[in-house]
């Protein structure tokens, strides 16, 4: 039966004026707007090759995605597929959305081949973004048939539930079911969707979609988690791709963390995949489930336990390194470090062998050669190279840089505080200074431009924070975006120290909270309705600064750390925007937990 909305495109190829085979492409789209840039196929009648790009955003790194597009032009694919997260999004500001979509379109404008859009959670998160997508591209899920292969492009964001909560709702499922029934004779089916729904819960009709796919030749491609792995399931191969510029620690193949594009050559036996790194090419087995289980599903096996001192200038200290081998093969660890003129350190051993399913510990001896205060120590950077020794296959090697710095033992005193912004109760408090400044030097004019000090306390009801802020140019906009004006951020991880000390930013909202507050009169807090607790706050404003008080309920701290909690990890910082400066400067007590300069265990307070 002929559908009224079918767009029939017939491509003609010629050689010296003689018509060749005419591949026919059927695309069923009911709108005038189309979710692709053009359909001038960059094809060769004897070949069927296309490329896949993956997440550009979720903490994008400028320049990576455009570089990938340039490399694709060198390879000349017939067309390019995507798996979403093309803009940063997560906003209802249409001006910002237009700017981000125009920027992205400028990235693919140089691409010779057609580019097919698939939405990710950064592209569609709310009704405003959903309407913008429809305005630009017409539909959020669709399909086309090319050379007897069905390309099924789906929308895992059809219920606007955000990261880790993708769905296929009833309406989309019926579309998929109908499409598969009408194309049951194709030789292969390729599915493109942003979130890997096969590893998520409560995905509505996704399991039903898998059932529809189970009796046909198919593969599924997704992105979202910024890590590559291949799974063989449901009589097909399912791929979660890494990044094409999205946020990533880039720890390499063992972790599935790398920037790549996928080069697919379609054959009668299915697609042959080559992962094109910016510095090389790997086949589809670059990361298998076996390697995921060995390496990535475990924390890095070497870590240095935080060391705290109650002395300002300790002469000598010791830290403990723990090496955990919970695999069934022998592990070799080699340690390398750089010398430091103030803080001398020595390993018991530079090379350690850990037997299968065993734990090794060794001391790191520290000496304060310059009689310096703890705050003056530089962060040590120790590289741990880990190798698993296999008998019947190549060894697996990977490495990580371990950050370490001896830290002062901050004591949390018990004091009753009234949240009014007056700071009357804080006369005897210990005040800490936010010294970690980032930003262009010419955008920061010294402590009169911006400085932040704070103190902490607790009682049976709350954990308290007092802030003294100097800022000679407050930038406040009731209609502006939260990230484009002055704001203070407080981060609290109340879990036991063996967990909170090694928090690298994962699990925000679930394991720890980030509370960002601007100086808006209305809705000053980012996502306040999604926080697992109610933070009390009071602010006193002055011409050149502010005083603030905050209270985090003890009920939350006991929930995360237990009734007998003994410590919590705290982070605080300020984003300073000045009207006459080009960029913001940031002022933190310690580097952020998810940043490259994070020191495990920093910001820890111990109950008195």
> Which residues have CB under 8 Å from 553's CB, separation 6+?
461, 462, 533, 534
* 3-state secondary structure labels for all residues of 179-216: HHHHCCCCCEEEEECCCCHHHCCCCECHHHHHHHHCCC
Closest CA to 537 of 518, 513, 562, 564: 518
> Which residues have CB under 8 Å from 355's CB, separation 6+?
325, 330
In contact, 436 and 590? CB cutoff 8 Å: yes
So what's the pLDDT on residue 298?
77
- Sheet containing 280-283: give its strands across: 115-116, 80-82, 49-53, 260-267, 270-277, 280-283
Q: Does residue 575 belong to any structural domain of this protein?
A: yes
pLDDT tens-place string over residues 422-469: 999 998 999 999 999 998 888 888 899 999 999 999 999 999 999 999
So what's the pLDDT on residue 394?
67
So what's the pLDDT on residue 442?
85
Is pLDDT above 80 for 375? yes
So what's the pLDDT on residue 17?
37
Q: Does residue 539 belong to any structural domain of this protein?
A: yes
Same domain (yes/no): 188, 54: yes
| Beta strands 462-471; 545-553: pairing state | antiparallel
> What is the distance between the alpha carbons of residues 593 and 599, in angstroms, rounded to a whole number?
8
pLDDT tens-place string over residues 482-541: 989 999 999 999 999 999 999 988 888 899 999 999 999 999 999 999 899 999 999 999
So what's the pLDDT on residue 74?
87
Tokens of 53: 């790009």
So what's the pLDDT on residue 13?
33
Q: Which of 408, 427, 446 is the last residue of a domain?
A: 408
So what's the pLDDT on residue 23?
55
Strand (E) positions, 357-395? 358-368, 380-389
Is pLDDT above 50 for 12? no
In contact, 83 and 240? CB cutoff 8 Å: no
Go through the chain and tell me how many residues it has.
Answer: 608
* 3-state secondary structure labels for all residues of 552-608: EEHHHHHHHHCCCCCEEEEEEEEEECCCCCCCCEEEECCCCCCCCCCCCCCCEEEEC
Q: What's the mean per-residue pLDDT of the chain?
A: 90
Q: Does residue 1 belong to any structural domain of this protein?
A: no
509 φ/ψ sector (left φ>0, alpha ψ -120 to 50, else beta): left
> What is the distance between the alpha carbons of residues 469 and 471, in angstroms, rounded to a whole number?
6
What's the domain range around 601? 410-607
Q: Does residue 395 belong to any structural domain of this protein?
A: yes
Same domain (yes/no): 392, 475: no
Q: Does residue 518 belong to any structural domain of this protein?
A: yes
What is the percent of the chain where pLDDT is above 70? Answer: 93
**What is the SS3 assignment for 541?**
strand
Is pLDDT above 60 for 19? no
Is pLDDT above 80 for 306? yes
| 43-57, 286-300, 392-406, 552-566: which is most confident | 552-566
> What is the distance between the alpha carbons of residues 145 and 17, in angstroms, rounded to a whole number?
27
Q: Which of 237, 269, 296 is the last residue of a domain?
A: 296
Same domain (yes/no): 291, 379: no
377 φ/ψ sector (left φ>0, alpha ψ -120 to 50, else beta): beta
């Amino acid at each position: 039966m002929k559908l009224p909305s079918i767009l029939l495109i017939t491509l003609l190829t010629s050689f010296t004026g003689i018509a060749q085979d005419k591949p026919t492409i059927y695309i069923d789209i009911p709108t005038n707007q189309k979710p692709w840039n053009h359909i001038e196929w960059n094809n060769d009648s004897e070949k069927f090759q296309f490329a896949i790009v993956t997440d550009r955003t979720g903490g994008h790194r400028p320049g990576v995605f455009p570089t990938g597009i340039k490399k694709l032009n060198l390879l000349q694919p017939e067309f390019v597929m995507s798996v979403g997260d093309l803009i940063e999004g997560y906003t209802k500001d249409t001006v910002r959305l237009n700017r981000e979509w125009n920027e992205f379109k400028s990235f693919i404008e140089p691409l010779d081949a057609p580019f097919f859009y698939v939405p990710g959670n950064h592209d569609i998160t709310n009704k405003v973004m959903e309407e913008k997508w429809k305005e630009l591209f017409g539909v959020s899920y669709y399909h086309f048939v090319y050379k007897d292969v069905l390309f099924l492009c789906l929308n895992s964001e059809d219920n606007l539930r955000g990261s880790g909560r993708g769905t296929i709702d009833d309406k989309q499922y019926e579309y998929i079911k109908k499409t598969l029934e009408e194309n049951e004779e194709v030789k292969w089916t390729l599915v493109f969707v942003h979130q890997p729904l096969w590893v998520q819960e409560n995905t509505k009709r996704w399991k039903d979609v898998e059932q529809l796919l189970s009796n046909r030749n198919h593969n599924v491609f997704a992105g979202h988690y910024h890590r590559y792995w291949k799974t063989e399931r449901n009589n097909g191969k399912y791929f979660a791709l890494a990044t094409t510029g999205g946020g990533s620690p880039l720890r390499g193949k063992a972790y599935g963390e790398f920037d790549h594009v996928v080069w697919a050559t379609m054959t009668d036996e299915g697609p042959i995949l080559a992962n094109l790194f910016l510095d090389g090419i790997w086949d589809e087995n670059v990361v298998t489930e076996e390697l995921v289980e060995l390496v990535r599903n475990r924390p890095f096996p070497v870590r240095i336990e935080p060391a705290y001192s109650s002395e300002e200038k300790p002469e000598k200290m010791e830290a403990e390194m723990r090496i955990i081998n919970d695999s069934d093969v022998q592990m070799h660890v080699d340690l390398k470090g750089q010398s430091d003129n103030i803080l001398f350190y020595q390993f018991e051993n530079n090379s350690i062998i850990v037997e299968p399913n065993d734990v090794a510990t060794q001391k790191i001896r520290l000496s304060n050669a310059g009689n310096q205060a703890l705050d003056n120590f530089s962060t040590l950077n120790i590289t741990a190279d880990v190798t698993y020794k296999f008998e019947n296959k190549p060894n697996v090697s990977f490495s990580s840089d371990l950050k370490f710095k001896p830290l002062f033992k901050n004591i949390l005193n018990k004091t009753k505080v009234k949240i009014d912004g007056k700071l009357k109760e804080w006369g005897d408090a210990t005040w800490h200074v936010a010294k970690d400044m980032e930003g262009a030097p010419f955008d920061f004019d010294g402590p009169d431009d911006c400085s932040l000090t704070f103190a902490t306390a607790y009682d049976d009801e709350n954990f308290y924070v007092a802030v003294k802020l100097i800022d000679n140019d407050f930038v406040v906009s009731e209609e502006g975006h939260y990230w484009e004006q002055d704001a203070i951020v407080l981060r609290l991880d109340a879990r036991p120290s063996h967990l909170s000390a090694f928090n690298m930013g994962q699990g925000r909202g679930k394991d720890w909270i980030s509370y960002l507050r601007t100086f808006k009169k209305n809705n000053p807090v980012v996502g306040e309705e999604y926080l697992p607790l109610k933070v009390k706050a009071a602010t006193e404003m002055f011409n050149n600064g502010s005083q603030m008080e905050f209270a985090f309920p003890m009920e939350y701290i006991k929930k995360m750390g237990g009734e007998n909690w003994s410590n919590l990890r705290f982070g605080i910082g300020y984003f300073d925007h000045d009207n006459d400066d080009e960029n913001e400067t940031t002022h933190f007590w310690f580097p952020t937990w998810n940043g490259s300069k994070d020191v495990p265990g920093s910001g820890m307070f111990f109950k008195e």
